[in-house]
A and B are shown apart, each in its own frame.
Chain A
Amino acid sequence: MKLFVKIPELSLLLLATLGCYSLAFAVMPDIAVPSLPMMSVMDIVVASFVLSFVIAIVAVIAGIGGGVIFTPIVLGFTSIDTMVVRATGLVVAMFSGLISAAPLLRQGLVDIRLVYVCALPTVIGGMVGAWVAIAVENSMGTQGDALVRLLLGIMLLGVAYVFLHSGGRNDYPVAADPKGWAGRLGLNFTYFETSLDQSIRYQVARLGPAVGLFLLVGFVGGFFGLGGGWAMVPVLNLVMAIPLKAAAASSGVLLALGNAAAIWPYVVYGALVPLLVAPWMLGQVTGGILGAYLLSRVKVAVVRRLLIVMLCLTSVKLIHRGLQGFGVMP
């Protein structure tokens, strides 16, 4: 309850959303969607909001964008067009990052200089990824849909592998001597670690290889509508030697900025359907604020294990549907 008093805008937004949906339930006739006879339009809207709210909490706690949860599940288990799913996935990936930027920057866990430098290749990669996605859709049609599902299924197995083997990461890498691009740009930062009651100093390392990796992460995020938070934390922590907590916090802020250019080609293509996106966006914003608050109270390892299982199951379903699309499987 304290949280709702402390953040009045969260309470007002939640109240306004719930009020709007309650009124819509009362006013709108109980219209079923022919392709989903068990559900009415308002059932789908409310279910989307609740699911997005939960995904945002899990995504913020696990230090990933919500897109990596949303896009595979919806692509694997519904018939919604892949372009519509990917556009909505980018919104889901972005908005928890947008809303959690302020507290993380204020706490000093994220430094804006690091965000600007890493965002540049991510933005470029994301834009190219989105344009390639539209080109593939236009040239391959339904086979393009099957290809996206198949590739995403295979890639998700890789993401699950990254999660599984990222347990040995450096929580507090030793501050290296400033050298190379990172040294010249003065990318050395300090944040206060409350659990240790001391300041942690760190020097960014290997900026060159990281730029290449961020280009790739941006491309994959823009192409599949996944965002890319799942890959940003390993790059920031393992390649750039940024402490794990700062890496997880920076990834969310970076994700929001990195995907801001990739969304436009989808919008103009007509893949961003406002009424479908609205409950997902509102769920991300309200769940993102709550997730940032819960971050210090939940065991991240438990959430990550659940994610690994979910990613493996979803990847099997996606690969199956992809092969079905190519006529390889019944």
Chain B
Amino acid sequence: MSSGSSYGSIVYWGTITGSVLVVLGSFIGLVYGSTWLPVEQQYELIMSGKVMANMPDRYNEVAFYYTGDGVILLGIIVAILSLVPAIVVTLPQLWRTNARVVALCGAINAALIVSAALFSFS
């Protein structure tokens, strides 16, 4: 399998897995009503233009990830971070085929994505 196909397959299935988690989270949130704030209250805050920046602390609470919102967020994170293993898998093949500068660019891209995520959550 070429490096491009490996990359594409991992990202594709990572996105599908993330989407399944997002559907599951929507189910938990909308059908069971398990959310960090009542659904109607969240929508009222959003639609009336209220900033929700006072909420980031919720990401540090494990309980958040048992709610519909938490599962949706996990799904989005899984889909986006599937880019990292997808890049890593392609690097040895690029290195072996003398595309070493390109492999280095790929490695820096992966490192930047992970660093941005870690830095933002730290």
A residues near B (Cβ < 8 Å) are 9, 13, 16-17, 20-21, 23-24, 27-28, 31, 33-36, 41-42, 44-45, 78-81, 83-84, 91, 94-95, 98-99, 101-106, 108, 110-113, 116-117, 119-120, 123-124, 127, 184-186, 256-257, 260-265, 267-279, 281-282, 285
Contact = CB atoms under 8 A, between A and B. Distances in A.
A264 B117 contact: yes
B47 A78 contact: yes
Nearest to B103: A116
B121 A23 contact: no
A275 B69 contact: yes
Contacts of B26: 17, 20-21, 24, 275, 278-279, 282
A256 B99 contact: no
Most buried by B among A33, A95, A274, A278: A274
A108 B4 CA distance: 8
Interface of B: 3-5, 7-9, 11-12, 14-16, 19-20, 22-23, 25-27, 29-31, 33, 35, 39-40, 42-44, 46-56, 59, 68-70, 72-73, 75-76, 79-80, 82-83, 87, 90, 94, 98-99, 101-103, 105-106, 108-109, 112-113, 115-117, 119-121
Given A24-B31, A269-B53, 4 more contacts: A106-B5, A116-B103, A257-B83, A274-B29
A123 B112 contact: yes
25 contacts: A20-B23, A24-B30, A33-B43, A35-B44, A42-B30, A79-B47, A79-B49, A81-B51, A103-B8, A104-B8, A106-B4, A112-B3, A112-B106, A116-B94, A116-B102, A268-B56, A270-B51, A270-B53, A271-B52, A271-B53, A274-B70, A275-B43, A275-B69, A277-B72, A282-B23
